[in-house]
Amino acid sequence: MMKINKSVIINSIQKGIRLDGRKLEEFRDIEIIPNYINKNPEGCALVKIGKTKVLVGVKMGVGKPYQDSPDEGVLMTGAELSPIAAPEFESGPPREAAIELARVVDRGIRESKMINTKALCIKEREAVWLVFLDIQILDYDGNLFDAAALGAVVALMNTKIPTYDLKTEKIDFEKYSGKLELNEVPISITARKISGKIVFDPNAEEEELVDSRLTFAFKENGNICAMQKGGSEPITKDEILDLMKKSSDQSKIIRKKLKNIKIDK
């Protein structure tokens, strides 16, 4: 980014109004399209936050459970920052940024106990459902953490489970046996600091100027089930408490939005 551009963005943030006219804590428009594609994936969502577009799909598979949880299904989350979304993204296996994104989204879902993993047991110790949650960034304009987490949650909310025949060990993807059982809906919000100011939902240009970020995953009762700090600048204890309060308020707005859309086909 050109230096002049940087200082213009920072000056406007200092004044409390961003270049696109938003207040510092204001999100861009959020659009949620459940079941964006609906033949092959078991669950799917397209989420747009401003110009950022994230497509999340769920595929179900069958495999062996982990030894320490023989009667529980398994969640596996992946994320791709492929070159379709921005010229600076490179092809190849996921690197640090994509791995962190996938793991932060995964942690919010896992630690909130969103998925009833026991309901995914087919036969103890032998066969359980595997939930493959894959996040594809289609268009990058900042705030991937919140867009990806929201897409993941919506995709899981409309996920259906195919039928499985233990004898033939075959999955019938044409016939659904039920919906993915959920206990909870976590909402992730990421607060950022740019030049000492708290900013939410940065676009790509603002994202480059972020000094530190802090992601919170909130449960329905307001408790926090996952956090992750990023960026190379420290955050103080008092700032964390402030970011928590503001992020918690944001999560309520998004939760309300989610309640008002039709998730199922």
Partner 1 sequence: MAKGLDIKLIKNGKRLDGRDMEEMRPLKMELGVLDRADGSAAIELGETKVIAAVYGPTKLHPQHRQQPKKAVLSVRYQMLPFSTTDRCRPGPNRRSIEIGLVIKKALEPIIFLEEFPRADIQIEIEVIQANASTRVTGLTAASLALADAGIPMKGLISACAVGKIQDKLILDVAGAEDSYGGADFPIAMINGGDEITLLQLDGDLNQKEMKPALDLAQKGCKILFDQQKNVLKNTYKVGDQK
Chain residues binding partner 1 by CB under 8 A are 66-69, 72, 96, 99-100, 102-103, 107, 110-111, 113, 214, 219, 221-238, 240-241, 244-245, 248
| Cα-Cα-Cα-Cα dihedral sign, residues 132, 138, 144, 150 | negative
Using the minimum distance from each CB to partner 1, give the nearer residue, 46 or 187. 187
Q: What is the largest CA-CA distance in the chain?
A: 67
Question: d(Cα 130, Cα 94) in Å, to the nearest integer?
Answer: 21
Element (H, E) at 239: helix 237-259
Using the minimum distance from each CB to partner 1, give the nearer residue, 49 or 131. 131
Pairing of strands 187-194, 170-179: unpaired
Q: Which of 205, 183, 206, 184 is nearest to 194 (CA)?
A: 206
Q: Please, what is the minimum distance in Å from the beta carbon of residue 216 to partner 1?
A: 8
Q: Please, what is the minimum distance in Å from the beta carbon of residue 234 to partner 1?
A: 4
Q: Please, what is the minimum distance in Å from the beta carbon of residue 221 to partner 1?
A: 8
Using the minimum distance from each CB to partner 1, give the nearer residue, 28 or 216. 216
Using the minimum distance from each CB to partner 1, give the nearer residue, 40 or 232. 232
Q: Which of 5, 8, 24 is nearest to 246 (CA)?
A: 24
Q: Please, what is the minimum distance in Å from the beta carbon of residue 53 to partner 1?
A: 24
